Amino acid sequence: MTISQPRERRAHFTLQNVVFGKLANAEMQYPSGMSIPLRLHYAPDNASLCVRLALEELGLPYETTLVDRAIQAHKSPAYLALNPNGLIPVLETPQGAIFETGAILMWLADRNARLMPAVDAPERIYATQWMFWLANTLHPTLRMLFYPAQYVDGDTGPVHKKATERLVSHLDLLSAAQTTPWLEDDAPTIHACYLGPMLRWAALYGGGDAWFQLQDWPRLEAFAKRLEARDTVKKAALAEGLGPTPFSAPAPCNPPEGSML
């Protein structure tokens, strides 16, 4: 089977992007019985990066549509028709559009029987537990850290301070966990696709390196270095302008299109 390369769509998100286009090659066969490519609605260095990493690891054909945050395209009627929350990402699939980063990652893993233990595997219980922890505990804490004004009126200092404390406690807990073999596993997982970008964002957007040093958690630093050494990750990093060490020593993104904010 020949795997197509992801096609970067340079146009801004418009209503016409909601409709699937015709295949460039009508004879192309897609994995898992798909008859049309997947379409990732993304913005550089946003949560869509987690999904891009998984798509690259799976070797699935997909195309991207830029959601231009500079013009609030994620709040447009066309985008809200795909994700009424107005958040990035959305993945369009043959079964319809799906939002929520964790849900997309688990859908991809289960549909392709990779990146996550099988449903009947003994290790599935802890894999599921930590996947929900990433989505429901770590990720919301980062959102509070980055967007405190969304959680309180007036002085955001206390919210930012509490979110910072929570983040440190979360990373302490994760670093000490005994049921997270994916932190050392050379094989890719959806957990790695999710955690890598979140370590990056914590360093870049949460308050600067004066408070966040990944070296404080050697296990997580080793994980970040191992992840960014993968060819699939290098490809995704190049597509979004993330630099050579996007997770262990991140620099602000310099994307070929769009903006992080």
CATH value at residue 168: 1.20.1050.10
On whether the CB atoms of residues 236 and 54 are closer than 8 A, the answer is no
User: Do 29 and 88 have their domain in common?
Assistant: yes
Q: How far apart are CA 59 and CA 34, in angstroms?
A: 14
Considering the chain, what is the average pLDDT of its residues?
87
Show which of 112, 133, 159 is a domain's final residue. 112
Quote the pLDDT of residue 26: 29
User: Do 24 and 60 have their domain in common?
Assistant: yes
Question: Is residue 251 situated within a structural domain?
Answer: no
User: Do 107 and 18 have their domain in common?
Assistant: yes
Please give the model's pTM, rounded to 2 decimal places: 0.86
Question: Is residue 149 situated within a structural domain?
Answer: yes
Provide the edge-to-edge strand list for the sheet that holds 90-93. 7-12, 62-66, 38-42, 90-93, 96-99
243: left (phi over 0), alpha (psi -120 to 50) or beta: left
Quote the pLDDT of residue 259: 82
Contacts of 79 (CB under 8 A, 6+ apart): 13, 41, 67, 73, 86, 90
Quote the pLDDT of residue 108: 98
Q: Is the pLDDT of residue 70 over 50?
A: yes
**Which among 197, 199, 191, 236 is positioned nearest to 59, based on CA atoms?**
236
**Strands 62-66 and 7-12, sheet pairing:** parallel
The whole domain housing 171 covers 124-231
Residue 11: pLDDT band with limits 50, 70, 90: very low
Structure-block tokens of residue 233: 């990750």
**Which among 239, 231, 243 is positioned nearest to 9, based on CA atoms?**
239
User: Do 63 and 23 have their domain in common?
Assistant: yes
Count of Cβ atoms closer than 10 Å to residue 120 Cβ: 6
Question: Is residue 260 situated within a structural domain?
Answer: no
Question: Is residue 258 situated within a structural domain?
Answer: no
Structure-block tokens of residue 162: 């509490």
Q: How far apart are CA 112 and CA 94, in angstroms?
A: 14
Q: How far is residue 10 from each of residues 6, 42, 53, 64, measured CA to CA in Å?
A: 13, 12, 20, 9
On whether the CB atoms of residues 42 and 7 are closer than 8 A, the answer is no
User: Do 88 and 153 have their domain in common?
Assistant: no
User: Do 128 and 226 have their domain in common?
Assistant: yes
User: Do 128 and 221 have their domain in common?
Assistant: yes
Domains of the chain: total: 2
Question: Is residue 206 situated within a structural domain?
Answer: yes
| pLDDT tens track for 103-161 | 999 999 999 999 999 999 999 999 999 999 999 999 999 999 999 999 999 999 999 99
User: Do 12 and 101 have their domain in common?
Assistant: yes
**Which among 38, 93, 97, 87 is positioned nearest to 67, based on CA atoms?**
87
User: Do 59 and 37 have their domain in common?
Assistant: yes
Angle at 244 between CA 178 and CA 208, to 5 degrees: 70
Q: What is the CATH number of the domain that holds 50?
A: 3.40.30.10
